[in-house]
Amino acid sequence: METTLRGVGVSHGVAIGEVRHMGTAVLEPPAKQIPTDEAPREQSRARQAVEAVAADLIARGNLAGGEAQAVLEAQAMMAQDPELMADVERRIAVGSTAERAVYDAFAAYRALLAGAGEYLAGRVADLDDVRNRIVARLLGVPMPGVPDSDEPYVLIARDLAPADTALLDPSLVLGFVTEEGGPTSHSAILARAMGVPAVVALPGASELAEGSVVAVDGSTGEVFVDPSAEKRAALEAAAAERKAALAAAVGPGATSDGHKVPLLANVGGPGDVPAAVEAGAEGVGLFRTEFLFLDDSKKAPSEQKQVEAYRKVLEAFPQGRVVVRVLDAGADKPLEFLTPADEPNPALGVRGLRTLLDHPEVLRTQLQALAKAAAGLPVYLEVMAPMVADRTDAKAFADACREAGLQAKFGAMVEIPSAALRARSILQEVEFLSLGTNDLAQYTFAADRQVGAVSRLQDPWQPALLDLVALAAESAKAEGKSCGVCGEAASDPLLACVLTGLGVTSLSMGAAAIPYVRATLAKYTLAQCERAAAAARATDSAEDARRAAQAVLSGE
Ligand code: PEP
Ligand code: MG
């Protein structure tokens, strides 16, 4: 029977498909004792699980071919290692459950490998993966990591970290549903970047049955479990209608009376560029460079590797603006070699620009790589720092840019309320502002952006957040400088009109949102946007702000 669940819609569109769970890290099975007469049954359970996992690895290797096949076959051999199996059976014979025996036997083998030289130590991660697969099978829980599926699916997760997302095959993910997260969580950002529908903060998402069919409406936040044929047809028809309306809107971003608001794309690397170009982005408003740093947990990418990645993005927008954000490590984007492991509250700790000022060599390499990447290109390069708190921060960043010989505009992100409150003093040091409304909401409301339970406070329609946006935009105007928005607020079409009315000078968002924002902005005059902004700010809640803006724009 069809049931309806409600979460927060964060990426438009409709996805219909089978549920696949993102397996969580395998928990340690409890060390409970079993009676000795149960040992033969447990031993046979263990053998069957090992054989099934080995067979699955081999089958996936056959499908993948090439180098991947060799790795998967080596893993299958690890699973079937006779000594390991003998150790598992011995442990069961003295009272372990099958899952606990596998867990402990692999731990002993792991310790041997880890101490046996670099090559074997490098196999530890593969061994852990094999152990996790066998234990997951014995516990009857989803396999850890990205689902093993060759068919497209709707991905269900508690939340997605940037590192998980690197492993996803975008051609297989129809949409996302997460139990945690809010409109600014990485799950939401990734869904928009991939152009797939997503619903976050959906209570009970983790309990959706593997293989059941869901229809995800990323605009309304509804998830229909076992949707009827009529429901599917209605959702698909509505999605097709929306798509056709969007295709009709083309060209640069502007209000109906011609007030220009450049629509820029948020990208994580060269891979996101084709979608941005296709959506008609007028440039890049936020290049999140931290994705380049995820490949190696021990060190920063070489200058050369960075030059290549930056150049690919810069070349895609020959006459356009490209705003590159220097590395934003820490808090929700930790990097092992830079982020302190023992901070009691990482979001309030050493992150963003603070990390870079503590590691000037990382900042220098990145700025030099940017200077080399832009050399000889006609692009308008702009470079900005995340998590600027005050004028001292802004000056330190601008000095570092000058020392690196960077020919670009230097800017500051406004993500901390202090930066919005003292925007004019920050603008004595830098040439533009870019509002990171995701973190600005987190710090204004003391509401962790990764926690679903406080997503109400993460809502970018909150009037207090709109007040800070207005303050920053007015300050920039008074200084004759620009102030864009690159947080997720810019991707909400109605809010984009309100931001325009507040005086924001450009909007940057995941490529998939650009057509929606362009089409909506083109329906209203600047004066209407200003009235909608004033009406939204005059309310006391996010819901009322949205309703008030909607009422003004629809002429009620
Ligand atoms: C923001 O905080 O709004 C922002 C754009 O940065 P990120 O989401 O990468 O923290
Ligand atoms: Mg941020």
The 8 Å CB, 24+ separation contacts for 293-298 are 293/327, 293/329, 293/335, 294/162, 294/163, 294/166, 294/335, 297/335, 297/336, 297/337, 298/336, 298/337
Band of pLDDT at residue 484, cut at 50, 70 and 90: very high
Mean pLDDT confidence for 52-56: 90
Query: Which SS3 state, helix, strand or coil, does residue 334 take?
Result: coil
Q: Are 62 and 91 in contact (CB under 8 A)?
A: no
Determine if ligand 1 sits within 6 Å of the CB of residue 147.
Answer: no
> Which has the higher per-residue pLDDT, 503 or 241?
503
Confidence at residue 67, expressed as pLDDT on a 0 to 100 scale: 62
Q: SS in 3 state form for 75-98?
A: HHHHHCCHHHHHHHHHHHHCCCCH
State the sign of the Cα–Cα–Cα–Cα dihedral 309, 313, 319, 323. Answer: negative
pLDDT of amino acid 118: 54
Mutate to test the pocket of ligand 1, among 10, 192, 413, 462 (most ligand atoms within 8 A of CB): 413
Instruction: Judge if the beta carbon of residue 508 lies within 6 A of ligand 1.
Output: no
In this prediction, what percent of the chain has a pLDDT beyond 70? 95
Task: Give the per-residue pLDDT at 52.
Answer: 92
Residue having the nearest C-alpha atom to atom 10 of ligand 1 = 439
Per-residue pLDDT, 117: 61
Closest C-alpha to ligand 1, atom 1: 436
Chain segment 421-464, per-residue pLDDT in tens: 999 999 999 999 999 999 999 999 999 998 888 988 999 999 99
Give, using CA atoms, the residue closest to atom 4 of ligand 1: 436
Q: How far is the CA of 439 from the centre of ligand 1 (A)?
A: 6
Closest by alpha carbon to 179, among 437, 6, 332, 4?
6
Q: How confident is the model at residue 162 (pLDDT cuts 50, 70, 90)?
A: low
Among 27-31, 60-64, 145-149, 215-219, the range of highest mean pLDDT: 215-219
What pLDDT digit, counting tens, does each position of 180-232 carry? 888 877 778 878 877 789 999 999 998 999 899 999 999 889 999 999 999 99
* pLDDT at residue 136 in the model: 87
pLDDT at site 319: 84
User: pLDDT tier at 44 (50, 70, 90 boundaries)?
Assistant: very high
What is the DSSP code (8-state) at residue 378? -
- pLDDT value of position 20: 92
484 lines ligand 1 (CB under 6 A): no
Q: Sign of dihedral through CA atoms 504, 509, 511, 516?
A: negative
Q: What is the Å distance from ligand 1's center to 487 Cα?
A: 5
Q: Decide if pLDDT at 289 tops 70.
A: yes
112-126 per-position pLDDT tens digit: 776 666 556 556 767
pLDDT at 62 over 90: no
Please report which confidence band the pLDDT of residue 322 belongs to, taking 50, 70 and 90 as the band edges. Answer: very high
Name the pLDDT band for 541 (thresholds 50, 70, 90).
very high
Q: Is 186 a catalytic residue?
A: yes
Query: Would you state the pLDDT for residue 310?
Result: 96
**pLDDT for residue 399 is more than 80:** yes
What residues have CB less than 8 Å from 140, skipping those under 6 apart? none
Task: Please report which confidence band the pLDDT of residue 165 belongs to, taking 50, 70 and 90 as the band edges.
Answer: low
By most ligand atoms within 8 Å of CB, the mutation choice from 192, 328, 445 for ligand 1 is: 328
Q: Which of 66-70, 189-193, 503-507 has the lowest mean pLDDT?
A: 66-70
* Confidence at residue 536, expressed as pLDDT on a 0 to 100 scale: 98
Ligand 2 centroid–CA 386 distance in Å is: 6
pLDDT given at position 116? 66
Distance from the alpha carbon of residue 255 to the mean position of ligand 1, in angstroms: 26
Nearest ligand 1 atom to alpha carbon 435: 3
Weakest-pLDDT range from 261-270, 447-456, 481-490, 529-538: 447-456
Mean pLDDT for the chain overall: 90
Q: DSSP alpha helices (H): ranges in 115-161? A: 117-121, 124-139
Q: What is the pLDDT of residue 250?
A: 83
Q: What angle do CA 425, 429, 432 make, to 5 degrees?
A: 90
**Alpha-carbon radius of gyration of the chain:** 26
In the chain, % helix, strand, coil (3-state, to 5) comes to 50, 15, 35
Say what angle helices 542-553 and 526-537 make with each other, to 10 degrees: 150
Say what the pLDDT of residue 122 is: 57
The active-site residue out of 12, 401, 483, 486 is 486
Q: What is the pLDDT of residues 372-391, one digit of tens each?
A: 999 999 889 999 999 999 99
pLDDT at 68 over 70: no
| Residues 156/201/270/307 CA torsion (nearest 10 deg) | -120
The pLDDT score that the predictor gives to residue 26 is 65
Distance 353 CA to ligand 2 centre (A): 11
The answer to whether residues 411 and 373 touch, using CB atoms and an 8 Å cutoff, is no
pTM of the full predicted structure?
Answer: 0.70
Is any atom of ligand 1 closer than 6 Å to the C-beta of 490?
Answer: no
Q: Read off the pLDDT band of 132 (50, 70, 90).
A: confident
Neighbours of 526 (CB within 10 A): 18
415 lines ligand 1 (CB under 6 A): yes
Cα gap 160→156, rounded to integer Å: 9
Q: What's the pLDDT at 372?
A: 96
